[in-house]
Each structure stands twice: as structure tokens, then as C-alpha cells.
Structure 1
Amino acid sequence: MTGKDHYYNKAKQEGYRARSAYKLQQLDDLEGLIDRGDTVVDLGAAPGGWLQVAAERVGPNGTVVGADFQRIRPFDDEIDDRIETIRGDVTEAKTLDRIRRAAGDSDGEAGAGRGPVDVVLSDMAPNVTGEYSLDQARSLHLARTASEVALELLGPGGTFAAKVFEGPDVDDFRTDLEDEFQYVRATVPDATRDESSELYLLAIGRLTAPVAPGDELDVEIVDTGSEGDGIATVEGFRLFVPGAQPGETVRVRVDDVKPHFGFAEPIEC
């Protein structure tokens, strides 16, 4: 098409503010990022294409909060009452507090895993200079910044999705996300332009356990699971310990951590 692509024209026809709306649609269709009734935070949300899609996907009982340096024009259709926009720097504590309040946390307290947020999205990109190494580094910095915000806002099992430009240190960033989420997937939606170097990292299942793989600790076995494993609790978090019996105190090494439970092996003292 002359000067414009298929998704640009499709967005105009269907009332989306940006062609990128179709990227979020495709990411959500692929991995089920957004559920009905969710609370979603979109970082760098202007002009609002992702906000529109997120509001459609959460439905009338969901909440969508968009934050950006730029002003985001109000929405003039039925999704407007699901969307709240905040103008500010998401790296500043006062902006995060405003996001928490908009998301439904009346206390506005900081701290990973305390908030009601289910999904944090970031389609942020740097102002392109034409020097790819610099642009790539800046995109990675934005994605890491978004991930830090996500770790502050997301509750247990929450989801984070962010755009980066392919290049150095993206694998390291993915590894860091894998330490915080149940799994991480890299993908390029069909709506991405062929010449683009964009890559989306989808981090699923926010881990908010008080223990991490490799931790060694003494636990008291308080119950038995359906498959015969002993069950210990650490700050309310369940650890399954094979071969252990209720009443025992066991030294264990944590092997694997899921959003709501983990596995540990007994070790010799």
C-alpha cells in the first residue's frame, strides 16, 4: 500500500489509535495475557492503542491504567469508564503511588506482590537515532525499567510483557525475568513490520515466594500431600518435601518454586 501498511489502515478503519493495537491482540491471543476482570497497567501508553485493546479484553468489570509522559486523550466510547490515565514518570515513587491508587490499592503501599495488578505491559521504545547499537541499548534500558515497575506492582501469578530491540544483553534480561516468573517466552507478533527488530518478552506467573531455588533451610513438616510428600510452610508458602513425615524437622534445599508452592529435597546436615 502506498506509504502505509495493512495494519495502519486497519487501525484507522476499526477505530484504534495505533497499528500497535494488533500486536497486543496477537500477543494476548498467543499467550492469554489478559483475563476478564483483570487489572492491567500499560506503561508508555500514549496514544492509547494498547489501552483500547486491554479495555476490550478485561471487560466491564476490569480496570486499565495507562501512564505516560505525554497526555493521553480521553476515550469517547463505552470503554472510557474502564480506563484511567496518568501523566508522569513511571520511575518516580509518586507516579507509582498514583498507579496503585488507580488500580484499586487505596493504601498505595510499595512492595512487590502487594498490589492488585494482574498484568503490566510496556510497548515503550526510545526515540530512534539511527545508530542501532545506541537505540538497542536504550530500548533494553526502557524494558528493564518497565520490569522493575512490574515487580513492584504485580501480585502473585501476574504477567509482564515488554518490547525490546534484538541485540546484546537481551538474553541476560530474559534470564533475569526467568528468575522472577514461572516462564518467559520471546515472540514477534505478525503485526510487526518486516524490517523491524522488535522482540516481545512475555513473562508469565510472577513468583512472590519467600524462598528461591538453591536456598537451604530447616523446616517443620506439618502435613502430608495427596501423593505422600511432606508439606512444610514458610511464611504461609507451601513446600513439598518427599519422604518427610509430619512432626519432623528437616534440613532441605529448595529445588523449584512456582507462584503458589515449591519443591525441596532433604539434605544431610
Structure 2
Amino acid sequence: MARKDEYYNKAKQQGYRSRAAYKLQQLDEMEDLLSDGDRVVDLGAAPGGWLQVATERVGTGAVVGVDLQRIDPIEGVETIKGDMTDEQTREEIVERVGEADVVLSDMAPNMTGEYSLDQARSVHLARQAFETACALLRPGGDFVVKVFEGRDLDTLRDDMEAEFEYVRTTSPAASRKESSEVYLIAKGFLTAPVEEGETLTVEIEGVGSEGDGIATVEGFTIFVPDTDEGETVEIEIEDVKPRFGFAKRRD
């Protein structure tokens, strides 16, 4: 039995709206994306296979699907008919879920049969989803997006890596063998007011349990070894996490 038949038939038997439901299941198993209580936004969600999986896995959380097309009702899921790039649509999403823990996008462009054009459109869609995710995610949140392999994919990934702790490129078993689609899984959304390599002058406001000095920049905590409370020092940012960073003193 061909893989596409296996997942198509399995979806019919198990009541999923698309074979793509198994892709999200497998991506979740790879990277632990969905947890009980999570607030999830699915961009381009029709017909709703990913919404079904998401609502099964977040339990007491909230799931919102966004699409220009109408999505038939799914128990426990809210849907918004609108353009994900529209500010009014984003505001409505925030009203429904607040900050999102996870943003998903399995969107693909309308296919023309000309691969270079279809691939470019897929990257454009993925970038729109990425920009939307950055507007919706909480610090430390995760993002998953589908894109076709080819031109500008590395640039998109580089841009995503600047906003997340790490980004992985993968292809779940449920993807068709002949497909050029891959998924970028971005973990740990960064909202720090500082960047790696940046230098600045800070005051050491205290000392942590490990003996490192503690400074804050716009409420963001930075640990600085070899410093004492009350010192004013020049530092260079070495590593940035969603809620804190590490730096070395330069003076």
C-alpha cells in the first residue's frame, strides 16, 4: 500500500479531515510542541485536520483556527474567517487567546505546476506566517511552518533563527515521499531587548545563587560573571534565552 493511501485511509477511518493530521502528530512527537493548557493558533487552518489534533493534545487549553475559507465547526475550537496578515484579524486572535504558546502553519500556495514559482510563493506564505507568529507568540513560544525546498529557504531560516532559540528543518513520515515540502520547527521565541554580540554599560543590581552578578535591561535579566553588586561595567552579550541572557564583562 502506498504511503499516501495509508494516511488517507487512516484519516478517513479515524475521523480526521485530512491526512495532514498525522504530520502534526509526528511533528509534536519529535519536538514536544503541544501540551495541556497551551493556547494554539493555526494559520490557514482549513479544512481543520491540524485543529483536530491540536485540540486533542492541549486539553484545557485554547485552539483558534484562522483561514480565508470557512472552517466547519470542530468541538472545542474557535475559528476566525480572515486574513492572518490583517491587523484586525490579529487583534481578534489576541482577544480570543491572548498571547499564543504555539503558532502553526501548514499553508501551501495555489499550485501552478511551475516549481520555481510555487516554491517562491511557499516561502512568501511562510514568511507571512513567521511575521504573524512574531506578533502573537509569548516569550518562549514555538512556531511550525511548512515550506517547499529551494531558493530563499536558507534566508528564511536564518531570519527565524534570529528570533528563536533554535530552528530545526524536518520532514515527517506522513509527508508524501515525492513531496519537496519540509517543516521549520522554531522553539523558544526570543523577546529580549538585547542581541548576541551587543555591548552596553550596566549596573550590577545584585548577585545570583551561582555567584554571577545580575543586571537588568528594560526588565530583562542578564547574568554577568566576575562582577559585584553596585559595580557599573561594560558588558558584551554572549547568549540570549527567552527570559534571561548571559554576558561577559569587557572592562
Does the pair score TM above 0.5?
yes
Equivalent residues of 2:3, 2:176 under 8 A apart? no
Tell which deviates more after alignment, 227-236 or 245-254. Answer: 227-236
- Which residue is 2:64 aligned to? 65
- Return structure 1 stretches of 4+ with deviation > 3 angstroms: 1-4
Partner SS state of residue 96, structure 1: helix
Q: CA RMSD in A?
A: 1.2
Q: State the AA in 2 paired with 1:93.
A: E
- Which residue is 2:34 aligned to? 34
- What is the CA-CA distance between 1:235 and the residue it aligns to? 1.6
- 1: CA distance between counterparts of 2:111 and 2:118? 6
Pairs within 5 Å for 1:1-269: 1=1, 5-59=5-59, 61-75=60-74, 80=75, 82-103=76-97, 105=98, 116-268=99-251
Partner SS state of residue 83, structure 2: coil
- What is the CA-CA distance between 1:131 and the residue it aligns to? 0.5
For these two proteins, the number of residue pairs brought into alignment is 251
Partner SS state of residue 235, structure 2: strand
Q: Deviations over 1:203-228 (max 9, x none)?
A: 00000111111221111101112222
Partner SS state of residue 5, structure 1: helix
- 2: CA distance between counterparts of 1:234 and 1:4? 52
Question: TM (normalized to structure 2)?
Answer: 0.97
- 2: CA distance between counterparts of 1:222 and 1:9? 61
Provide structure 2 residue ranges, at least 5 long, that are not aligned to the other structure: none
Q: Deviations over 1:177-211 (max 9, x none)?
A: 11100111110000000000000000000001111
Q: 1:250 to 1:7 in 2, by over 3 A?
A: same
Q: Deviations over 1:47-70 (max 9, x none)?
A: 0000000000001x1100000010
Partner SS state of residue 138, structure 1: helix
Partner SS state of residue 71, structure 1: coil
Q: Deviations over 1:65-115 (max 9, x none)?
A: 00001000012xxxx1x2100101111111111111121x3xxxxxxxxxx
Instruction: Give me the identity figure in percent.
Output: 64
Tell which deviates more after alignment, 167-176 or 2-11. Answer: 2-11
- What is the CA-CA distance between 1:3 and the residue it aligns to? 11
Partner SS state of residue 124, structure 1: coil
- 1: CA distance between counterparts of 2:148 and 2:174? 15
- 1: CA distance between counterparts of 2:32 and 2:61? 15
Equivalent residues of 2:4, 2:176 under 8 A apart? no
Provide structure 1 residue ranges, at least 5 long, that are not aligned to the other structure: 106-115
Question: TM (normalized to structure 1)?
Answer: 0.91
Partner SS state of residue 160, structure 2: helix
Q: Deviations over 1:128-186 (max 9, x none)?
A: 11110000000000000000000000001000000000001111111111110011111
